[in-house]
Amino acid sequence: MKLDANSLRYMSKEEYRTLQALELGQRNHEIVPVPLIDGIAKLRHGGVVNALRGLMRQKLVHHDNQKYDGYRLTSLGYDFLALKALVNRGAVSAVGRQIGVGKESDVFEVLDTKGEAQAVKLHRLGRTSFRAVKAKRDYLQHRTSFSWLYLSRLAAAKEYAFMKALHENGFPVPRPLEHNRHAVLMSLIDATPLCQVQALQDVGRVYNQTMVLLTSLAKRGLVHCDFNEFNILVDEACNITLIDFPQMVSTAHVNAEELFDRDAESVRRFFGSKLGYVSPADPPGFKATLASANQADALDIKLSASGFKQGDQDALDVYMKPQQVHCTSTPSASSSASSVSDSIDEDEGRSLTTGHVGSAQVCDNNPDSPAIGAVVAGPAA
Ligand code: ADP
Ligand code: MG
């Protein structure tokens, strides 16, 4: 993916309104017919056609005329809408280099309006798991391409809710700042994923911190489920930070013990094989960990009452664990052209004040990579 500075900086009001109208139209159309986009955007005669032409040039929309003349957002178009909303909220002023390519995300450095570097994670569900993609497609039937955007949005909402609860409760996770659509804005962690570390000054201390973190989460009712060297960052002082929360489950989950043991085992195996460290202590046990937990501290219960609802979780589960989950609810897609037409957010139409968007690069996580200031050329206005 390549973020283009010019599209963020120079998009016309008409193009932006057309992009928003297309997004709304995709709630119940995979390919949105031009008259529907026109009806939602309500631009002067011919405005939408010209705007769509401009959006096509910027690769923010895709034209499809197999069945009828229509358009859909590209992932770049969706990125644009999320980033622009963050800019309009005053949370982001410029987008810089790409710092991470995860299994199902792209992570970029951004600048906030004070000029401080933060991180934005753009979720991209369906990027890697073809089996899951197939299962999901069977389940969602006609709701195909927008469903990917929809699921990415759910993953971001879940990640934000969990990161917020964990951060508020003193866990070593990035500070959540904002989220919009499939994007989560969080503090930038100056640390390296464990998988890229060749040796650690105090490997025993890092191992212990990691296992204490795993058990502390379980005592608060949570299993990370992807607790491994890719999602544990370690800094120069050998302190760890945990990232990547969309797959977390409650300790009440039917497979929680198995998932907890798998997390513990993957850490133990990594420390043994890559760092040559074998702990004298046994890995923590799930039942013993829960036996010492206080129910009143349970975060899983608080989270289930948060903004991230069970129906959203069900939809995500079908994607993440197609073989285990019996889903009872489908995502709601009940908006008509007339009802959505009023909901284009005029606030999102304020002009952008971003600097340049640096060209995206594949993550090398190299500590010698240039700082964001070197990549983001223009100052925020
Ligand atoms: P995925 O779900 O795709 O695995 P992750 O959340 O694990 O995504 O992020 C992918 C990579 O991006 C990480 O391995 C890490 O290198 C980088 N990254 C993610 N969040 C941050 C952050 N807050 N600060 C610094 N780097 C980050
Ligand atoms: Mg990850």
The angle that helices 145-168 and 130-140 make with each other, rounded to 10 degrees, is 110
244 Cβ below 6 A of ligand 1:
yes
Residue 228, pLDDT above cutoff 80:
yes
Ligand 1 atom nearest to CA at 195: 14
336 lies in a domain? no
The angle that helices 145-168 and 75-88 make with each other, rounded to 10 degrees, is 40
60 and 120 in a common domain? no
Residue 20, pLDDT above cutoff 90:
yes
Final residue belonging to a domain, choices 274, 297, 320: 297
169 and 85 in a common domain? yes
276 and 177 in a common domain? no
**Spacing, Cα 107 to ligand 1 middle (Å):** 6
- Across the range 363-368, mean pLDDT stands at 31
Residue 326, pLDDT above cutoff 90:
no
Which pLDDT value is given to residue 98? 93
103 and 43 in a common domain? no
77 Cβ below 6 A of ligand 1:
no
- Label residue 110 by pLDDT band (50, 70, 90): very high
Residue 34 has a CB neighbour count (10 Å cut-off) of: 18
> Ligand 1 atom 17: the closest Cα is on which residue?
100
Q: At 289, which CATH number?
A: 1.10.510.10
Residue 115 has a CB neighbour count (10 Å cut-off) of: 14
188 Cβ below 6 A of ligand 1:
yes
156 lies in a domain? yes
84 and 135 in a common domain? yes
172 and 83 in a common domain? yes
255 and 184 in a common domain? no
Ligand 1 atom nearest to CA at 365: 16
User: Comparing 233 with 364, which gets the higher pLDDT?
Assistant: 233
**Spacing, Cα 39 to ligand 1 middle (Å):** 40
Ligand 1 atom nearest to CA at 159: 6
241 Cβ below 6 A of ligand 1:
no
What is the enclosing helix (H) or strand (E) of 6?
helix 5-10
Residue 92, pLDDT above cutoff 60:
yes
184 and 88 in a common domain? yes
Q: For residues 287 and 248, what is the distance between their CA atoms, to the nearest angstrom?
A: 18
**Spacing, Cα 81 to ligand 2 middle (Å):** 24
Residue 248, pLDDT above cutoff 50:
yes
Of 324, 9, 39, 312, the residue nearest 155 (C-alpha): 312
74 Cβ below 6 A of ligand 1:
no
Which pLDDT value is given to residue 301? 82
Which pLDDT value is given to residue 302? 82
179 and 260 in a common domain? no
Give the closest ligand to the alpha carbon of residue 100: 1
What percent of the chain is modeled with pLDDT above 70? Answer: 76
Which pLDDT value is given to residue 288? 96
Which pLDDT value is given to residue 253? 93
Q: Could you give the number of structural domains in the chain?
A: 3
Residue 103, pLDDT above cutoff 90:
no
276 lies in a domain? yes
309 lies in a domain? no
Q: Give ∠ CA 135-138-143 in degrees, rounded to 5.
A: 115
From 101, 118, 121, mutation site for ligand 1 pocket: most ligand atoms within 8 A of C-beta? 121
172 lies in a domain? yes
Final residue belonging to a domain, choices 73, 96, 128: 73
Residue 144, pLDDT above cutoff 70:
no
Residue 365, pLDDT above cutoff 80:
no
Residue 116, pLDDT above cutoff 60:
yes
Which pLDDT value is given to residue 370? 28
- Across the range 11-29, mean pLDDT stands at 94
Which pLDDT value is given to residue 150? 85
380 lies in a domain? no
Ligand 1 atom nearest to CA at 188: 24
- Label residue 61 by pLDDT band (50, 70, 90): very high
Residue 247, pLDDT above cutoff 50:
yes
Q: At 97, which CATH number?
A: 3.30.200.20
Residue 335, pLDDT above cutoff 80:
no
Query: pLDDT digit string (tens) for 193-207?
Result: 999 999 999 999 999
Q: At 51, which CATH number?
A: 1.10.10.10
Give the closest ligand to the alpha carbon of residue 372: 1
**Spacing, Cα 166 to ligand 1 middle (Å):** 16
- Across the range 273-300, mean pLDDT stands at 93
Residue 202 has a CB neighbour count (10 Å cut-off) of: 11
Which pLDDT value is given to residue 374? 24
**Spacing, Cα 259 to ligand 2 middle (Å):** 16
> Ligand 1 atom 3: the closest Cα is on which residue?
102
- Across the range 287-310, mean pLDDT stands at 85
Of 182, 179, 159, 152, the residue nearest 79 (C-alpha): 182
Helix (H/G/I), strand (E/B), else coil: 129: coil
Final residue belonging to a domain, choices 18, 48, 73: 73
Q: Is 261 a catalytic residue?
A: no
Q: For residues 127 and 125, what is the distance between their CA atoms, to the nearest angstrom?
A: 6
243 lies in a domain? yes
101 and 60 in a common domain? no
128 Cβ below 6 A of ligand 1:
no
From 107, 182, 197, mutation site for ligand 1 pocket: most ligand atoms within 8 A of C-beta? 107
Q: Could you tell me if 97 and 375 are in contact, meaning their C-beta atoms sit under 8 angstroms apart?
A: yes
- Label residue 9 by pLDDT band (50, 70, 90): low
Give the closest ligand to the alpha carbon of residue 245: 1
153 and 112 in a common domain? yes
- Across the range 73-79, mean pLDDT stands at 93
Which pLDDT value is given to residue 158? 94
**Spacing, Cα 18 to ligand 1 middle (Å):** 32
Q: Which of 38, 226, 244, 317 is catalytic?
A: 226
Of 152, 148, 150, the residue nearest 133 (C-alpha): 148
Domain of 364 in residue numbering reads as 79-188+360-375
- Label residue 338 by pLDDT band (50, 70, 90): very low
Pick the most confident of 7-21, 174-188, 364-378: 174-188
Ligand 1 atom nearest to CA at 103: 3
59 and 85 in a common domain? no
- Across the range 56-71, mean pLDDT stands at 95
From 110, 151, 224, 243, mutation site for ligand 1 pocket: most ligand atoms within 8 A of C-beta? 243
What's the chain's average pLDDT?
Answer: 81
User: Comparing 371 with 169, which gets the higher pLDDT?
Assistant: 169
* Torsion of the alpha carbons at 266, 267, 268 and 273, rounded to the nearest 10: 80
pTM of the entire predicted model: 0.82
Minimum mean pLDDT among 84-98, 115-129, 313-327: which range?
Answer: 313-327
Please report, as a single letter, which amino acid is at residue 305.
A
Minimum mean pLDDT among 202-211, 263-272, 323-332: which range?
Answer: 323-332
Residue 361, pLDDT above cutoff 50:
no
305 lies in a domain? no
Sign (positive or negative) of CA dihedral 316, 322, 325, 328: positive
User: What size, in residues, is the chain?
Assistant: 381
